[in-house]
Structure 1
């Protein structure tokens, strides 16, 4: 039995489909079962509630061999520590009690870098990994740079203004990754019972691109000029708080991008194992263009 947290998230939906195709027995923890596709509800067990709730965790982990862990990173939480470490604590305490053998979690690049100690939400995510590892369970953190999928938040401005807005350094080449490749990596690890101990598996995408280069690719795919605009940290923080983020979570986001702009995501060398298949251009053709054309 494999327990999947956040099964209706961008990564979780793809992961569930992948695992079901492989015939895996799944138990899904979700706040709202109606958000699951009907065929998924028919083929998997469902436990309703929050995976930060000890009572829900106890029900879901009973008899489980493996767990997929994705902390929601709720922007309303008071801090990154609360959103990642405190949220995960009940599960970390329950892994050994329920005999869970393996956990695969979604986390961030940065371990071992100077920036990681002051990288806001990344710092909190790495502390979450340490908490899970300290539980004694075999753990693999799937560590990622920024998701290509995040650009879907800018579909409106791309359509209306021909622009997208990030805090990123416009000239810094960095890796990005498609969520479908993250899900595929997680599925491979969850279906493999041969590994043990604690470690990280990086998902880096096939190339490093600067925001300016990304804008050029988007322009070519969409057939219209699209430019990148760098947003100051103070403006990003104000905007996030306007969307309901707490001051602590908004500040954590700013600190994360500051660390990325100092090269934190470039610290892991790309290898054959860490190179995921979907290029940024392919993602734009498959995902961004249809969203913009709607």
Structure 2
């Protein structure tokens, strides 16, 4: 039995689709935890066991983890909570349920940066890595998917790209860093969940096919969208003010700023890309298939 949290999210949805294709042949049953079962894809209906509720709820987790062999764990960012409470606090009931039900394997969405000089002052990433330690401390076989920033983050800027030909961030325009498509993260997660021959505690980097700078991204967007797109660097103070204006918890907003600053200081640069850590989807492909339709070009 594989339990999937956040099955309607950016990573959980493609993961669920992959498991629906492969799990029956592997003799695996699937169970999902979801607030709104109506949001599940049509292909899942009648083929997965549904536990309705939040995976922050101890009673929900108790039902969901009973008889489970493996869990896919993803914490949705909650801007109303502090980073520590939003990650380790959110996961605390899961830690108890994993131990109570003797779940053998957990695969979780995490972040790059462990072992780098800036990891302890990286805001949301620091909180994520602390959550990894909390879960691994249960003794479960644990794999943390160590991810850089997602291509899908640009979907939050479709209006600006469409109307102004601009996307905004705070990092140096020439700093190259890995980026990854969420579908590639889902593919790695599916492989780990279906083949549980691994043990112990480790991270699994998912780095995309190449490092790209904001200027590289602007050039590729321009080529793929057929319209000029440029990168605009935003001051950290302006980002913090903007986030507070959206009503974010003050510590969460600072956690975003600290994460961004750490990325600009090399947080994501500590892992070499190899055939095992690279993933296939290029930014060109993603722009053509995902960004262009979202922008309307």
Which of the residues 67, 70, 78 maps onto 1:66? Answer: 70
Q: How many residues align?
A: 293
Which of the residues 105, 111, 117 maps onto 1:108? Answer: 111
Matches of 2:240 and 2:193, distance apart in 1 = 36
Matches of 1:170 and 1:143, distance apart in 2 = 24
**Residue 40 in structure 1 maps to residue 47 in structure 2:** no
**Scaled by the length of structure 2, what TM-score is found?**
0.97
Partner of 2:146: 143
Matches of 2:181 and 2:211, distance apart in 1 = 13
How does 1:48-127 map onto structure 2 within 5 Å? 48-77=52-81, 79-127=82-130
Q: Tell me the CA shift for residue 243 of structure 1.
A: 2.4
Q: Tell me the CA shift for residue 56 of structure 1.
A: 0.6
Q: Unpaired segments of 5 or more residues in structure 2?
A: none
Matches of 1:140 and 1:186, distance apart in 2 = 9
Matches of 1:25 and 1:169, distance apart in 2 = 46
Q: Tell me the CA shift for residue 231 of structure 1.
A: 1.2
In the TM superposition, structure 1's runs of 4+ consecutive aligned residues that sit over 3 Å from their partners are: none
SS at 1:282's partner residue? helix
**Residue 164 in structure 1 maps to residue 173 in structure 2:** no
Matches of 2:68 and 2:6, distance apart in 1 = 16
SS at 1:114's partner residue? coil
| Cα deviation digits, residues 220-241 of structure 1 (max 9, x gap) | 0011100001111121122222
Q: Tell me the CA shift for residue 293 of structure 1.
A: 1.6
Q: Unpaired segments of 5 or more residues in structure 1?
A: none
Matches of 2:172 and 2:140, distance apart in 1 = 38
Which of the residues 28, 31, 43 maps onto 1:27? Answer: 31
Partner of 1:274: 277
SS at 2:8's partner residue? coil
Please, what is the CA RMSD of the aligned residues?
0.9
Q: Tell me the CA shift for residue 292 of structure 1.
A: 1.1
How does 1:240-255 map onto structure 2 within 5 Å? 240-255=243-258
| Cα deviation digits, residues 45-92 of structure 1 (max 9, x gap) | 111111011111001000000000001121111x11011001001101
**Residue 258 in structure 1 maps to residue 261 in structure 2:** yes
Matches of 1:231 and 1:43, distance apart in 2 = 47
